[in-house]
Amino acid sequence: MTEANTVIASVTAILVKVIRVLPSAYQIPHPLPWPQIVGPLAMAEDSMARLDERLAKSPIRDGFIARTHFTDACASLWLEGELVHLDDLVLHDAGMDVRAPTHELTRAHAVLRARRRIADTKPDWALSAAGLAGLRGRGEQGDREAERLNRNGEEDEARGPEDEGSDADTGEAFRVAPTDNRLADVFAAVDAAIAQADRTLAGENNGRRQPQPERDPLVYDLDWDEDERLDAWRAILDRTGSLPPTLAAAIAADAWTTIEPLQHTPWHGRLFAAALLRARGKARFHLPCLHDGLKAIPRERRRPRDATSRLAVQLEAIAAAAELGLKDHDRWLTARTLLGRKLAGRRSTSRLPALLDYVLSRPIVSAGMIAEELKITPRAAQDLVAELGLREVTGRGRYRAWGIL
């Protein structure tokens, strides 16, 4: 025993210093390199303004917005090296998958839902504290807990005084006879079991809530302080208030890529940059598809090292997204005009106008999707497609789909 104590005493303590990994510092270039970015900035401002003005009075604006959500969601995964087919995403969104959805497909659908949520709310919602929490998936935790804790209290308030008075009005409350001791014990045991089940379902044990791990440590880095990184990104965003909207969006997207506030969701940065353009009034009538724009930039130029080149690339991506949007809008508007000629002379109860609007809002449609949307049979949906003369895009004899390219 003495020898063991001697060996232990001879071992010196080794001090281990835990180094906390802080988010990467991002600095806005000061002064801004105006000679290098003024050309891309002017192009981005002009292209985005022309697209938004075109959509302001466009008859296919709603269909354009709904359709570009799908293309931008697929482009977001394409930039990460994942291939998601557009037709698979459309069918998955409609709940008509032809195969088990892959992980990439579910992520693309998450981007699609986030875009719809941003586009359907107020312009400044996405960049607010509530918007950031909601898009992160943490906006309803407090509401759920408050609703669960107050549920029993609301029920007691709803029936408390009235029910007590009703017992008094009847003249005699329900009582267990003295000879029913065994039955009273059974009722007490049932009440105790129900109370325990309620606590278990509510995640409580002995009056205290058991902590549940939010994320799997095998997938997420638990030392990754998302709140601190998000605060750093919002500080950068606050400093862009005096800059042009497109330049502010370019800085927001570049800062998000550098700081990486959220794990495994790099697409949030460009969605917030698009929301910034909408909040600043540059894109009042649509949500820009910045993933589509960045996809048009060659891969070797997409991620330069210096900050000036990165800002120029982000501005070029915004301009490319607007130019692609203008081309798609004009092509779809021309197709709608040509197909609209077949609606002349139709009865007011015809389903062809509704079919045309629905086809313009989706990249592809199947007979099942048309039948569910128009409340008709699949056979009637195929007849309407043949009558309208839509183009079949799969080349198959079965499980066909149609669309306006």
- CB-based contact 275:126 (threshold 8 Å): yes
Choice among 84-93, 216-225, 260-269 with the minimum mean pLDDT: 216-225
Choice among 24-33, 270-279, 302-311, 381-390 with the minimum mean pLDDT: 24-33
Place 173 in a pLDDT band, splitting at 50, 70 and 90.
very low
User: pLDDT averaged over the chain?
Assistant: 83
Q: Is 11 a residue whose pLDDT tops 60?
A: no
What is the three-class DSSP state of 35? helix
Q: Residue 89 carries which side chain, given as an amino acid letter?
A: L
Place 179 in a pLDDT band, splitting at 50, 70 and 90.
very low
d(CA 1, CA 6): 9
How does pLDDT run across 216-264, given as a tens digit for each residue?
A: 777 788 888 889 999 999 999 999 999 999 999 999 999 999 999 998 8
Q: Is the peptide bond before 31 cis (omega within 30 degrees of 0)?
A: yes
Could you tell me the CA-to-CA distances from 92 to 70, 97, 106, 356 in Å, in that order? 11, 5, 9, 21
* CATH fold match for the domains 34-136+223-335 and 345-403: no
Instruction: Name the residue ranges covered by the structural domains of the chain.
Output: 34-136+223-335, 345-403
Give the domain 345-403 fold. Arc Repressor Mutant, subunit A (1.10.10)
Is 34-136+223-335 a domain of CATH 3.30.160? no
Q: Is 175 a residue whose pLDDT tops 50?
A: no
d(CA 93, CA 73): 12
Place 10 in a pLDDT band, splitting at 50, 70 and 90.
low
pLDDT at 160: 45
d(CA 90, CA 277): 27
Q: Is 118 a residue whose pLDDT tops 80?
A: yes
Residue 236: name the closest of 252, 257, 258, 225 by CA.
252
What is the three-class DSSP state of 193? helix
pTM, 2 dp = 0.75
Residue 362: name the closest of 13, 18, 93 by CA.
93
